[in-house]
Amino acid sequence: MAQLFSLADCEVIGFDLDHTLCRYNLVESARLIYDSFAQYMVKERGYDKELLNVSPESWDFCCKGLVLDMEEGNFLKLAEDGTVLRASHGTKHMTSEEIVETYGRREWRHFKTMSGMVSRSAKYYAYDNYFDLPGALLCARIVDGLNKPGSRRKYDFWKDMVAAIQHNYKTSAFKENYGTYFPEVKSNPGKYIQCCPDSVKKWLRKLKDSGKILLLITSSHSDYCRLICEHTLGNDFADLFDVVITNALKPGFFSQIPNQRPFRTLENDEEQEALLALDKPGWYSQGNSTHLYELLKKMTGRLEPKVVYFGDSMHSDIFSAHHYSNWETVLILEELQGDHVMVPTETESEPLEKKGKYEGHHPKALHSVSKQWGSFFVDTISGKEDVEDTSVNTWSCKCVSSYSTITIPSIEAIADLPLDYKFNRFSSNSSITAGYYPKPPRSFLSSGEPMTTK
């Protein structure tokens, strides 16, 4: 495989929406997501109302790459070989002795079933995007509550979390003003959604004018997609994209066979009849990558058009597009920005009733380094006796280099580059830092370890 990658070589450029083209105010959106789940768990499922109160320090728990071991109520940070590097029971840090007592030689038994698929099951859940992280904090605090004297210790709360997610994010929730999340975003989108930088808008137009076919593929429902895109890109956003696919239900969009996931037309944001195939550009719902690729062949006049897809979720976007569709992939990973982020403050004009219990308190910027969990990319594992601690790559880091072509902190980071700019790509015989643009994570450089792929 060539060591260089260029957008100029791709006939089709596809984008996820949330946390990819649309950037959120992470501090505000994290509070809202957490609150939407916590209110349901307390009011509808009878959990401790203390869950509704979140201290500023609690947000340090949020870290991409954690895996919830549902059987034990433990959160794990894993090395690329499945070794448990750090762990917590609920939010409580576990010592090395406690990890060994629970996991023997620090080997997590489900790793082999997860590592090849970046998947989720009834026994574990991997947290890989910013919509997930507030739920991780809530689950950890639920475990804390279940461990209190006199409380149940069976960790069977996951079914309630799934119900909370379905309550707030069902496809009709936006239209019906149902749940907590959508009504709040609809009433104040600017509080949660950032406007797209002019450089990115110009870059998208430049791609379009150069003859590229642009796709928007999002699991958000069409009405929410429209709100986000109008706020982010402007009222004429649809002119930028040849094909818009909403409610794509990723990763199934990539992994399911066509007759299990047909495309559907839309009328007033309501899904209509199923389509046996796609025969023209337009706005569709659900669907599958196989039928989409057949349309792209017709649109490009090529037998094997080259597609690149930008996304932020390793599970739903990057692994799936790479593994099932053999597309090039660009991972949006804000952790590359380190902790150089200002935490926004409340405006003086905001009414007190809007400030609520968070007044004067702010969670950390969610892509700064967690004190509890350390670097997303590397960590150390204690040696035995006189052997020094060893720096190792995390499982999350391994996924980045295995499944993404390149990884960038935001689209804005490449918007001013010429379209034929040649990026160094991740590949099996290159440095593990090769595919990061504009530069590798600082934690690689500070670890002192030679970072090569195995």
Region at 211 (left for phi over 0; alpha for psi -120 to 50; beta for the rest): left
φ and ψ at residue 424, rounded to 5 degrees: -75, 130
Q: What is the pLDDT of residues 39-60, one digit of tens each?
A: 999 999 999 999 999 999 999 9
Q: What is the pLDDT of residues 154-169, one digit of tens each?
A: 788 999 999 999 999 9
Q: Which CATH architecture has domain 1-23+193-343+376-454?
A: 3-Layer(aba) Sandwich (3.40)
**For residue 357, is pLDDT > 70?**
no
Rounded to 5°, angle at Cα 44 from 175 and 129: 60
Locus of tokens 């406690």: 98
Take residue 357 and report the two structure tokens written for it: 């219990």
Q: Which of 56-65, 229-238, 352-361 has the lowest mean pLDDT?
A: 352-361
Domain range list for the chain: 1-23+193-343+376-454, 26-187
Take residue 442 and report the two structure tokens written for it: 């600082």
Pairing of strands 4-5, 423-424: antiparallel
Q: Which residues of 360-392 are buried (b: 16+ CB within 10 A; e: fewer)?
A: eeebbbbbbbbebbbbbbbbbeeeeeeeeeebb
> What residue type is assigned to position 161 of the chain?
M
Predicted local distance difference test score (pLDDT) of residue 388: 62
Q: Is 339 among the residues known to form the active site? A: no
> What residue type is assigned to position 109 of the chain?
R
Predicted local distance difference test score (pLDDT) of residue 177: 92
Catalytic residue among 9, 18, 81, 386: 18
Take residue 241 and report the two structure tokens written for it: 């994209």
Question: CA 146, CA 354: separation in Å to the nearest integer?
Answer: 31
Take residue 355 and report the two structure tokens written for it: 């400030």
Q: What is the pLDDT of residues 212-245, one digit of tens each?
A: 999 999 999 999 999 999 999 999 999 999 999 9
Catalytic residue among 16, 69, 128, 312: 16
CB 237 within 8 A of CB 230: yes
CA proximity to 75, closest of 144, 130, 19: 144
CA proximity to 263, closest of 274, 250, 279: 274
Q: Is 317 among the residues known to form the active site? A: no
Higher per-residue confidence, 51 vs 356: 51
User: Which burial class, exposed, middle or buried, applies to 313 when counting CB atoms under 10 A from its CB (0-12, 13-18, 19+)?
Assistant: buried
Question: CA 415, CA 405: separation in Å to the nearest integer?
Answer: 17
114: enclosing H helix or E strand: helix 111-115
Question: CA 130, CA 180: separation in Å to the nearest integer?
Answer: 17
Q: Is the pTM of this model over 0.75?
A: yes
Q: What is the pLDDT of residues 23-43, one digit of tens each?
A: 999 999 999 999 999 999 999
Question: CA 343, CA 364: separation in Å to the nearest integer?
Answer: 7
What dihedral angle (degrees, nearest 10) is formed by the CA atoms of 83, 89, 94, 99?
-40
In angstroms, the first-to-last Cα distance of the chain is 17
Predicted local distance difference test score (pLDDT) of residue 2: 73
For residue 262, whether the previous peptide bond is cis, meaning omega lies within 30 degrees of 0, is no
Question: CA 257, CA 296: separation in Å to the nearest integer?
Answer: 17
Predicted local distance difference test score (pLDDT) of residue 451: 47
- Percentage of the chain beyond pLDDT 90 is 76
Predicted local distance difference test score (pLDDT) of residue 427: 82
Question: CA 378, CA 449: separation in Å to the nearest integer?
Answer: 10
Predicted local distance difference test score (pLDDT) of residue 432: 78
Average pLDDT, the chain: 88
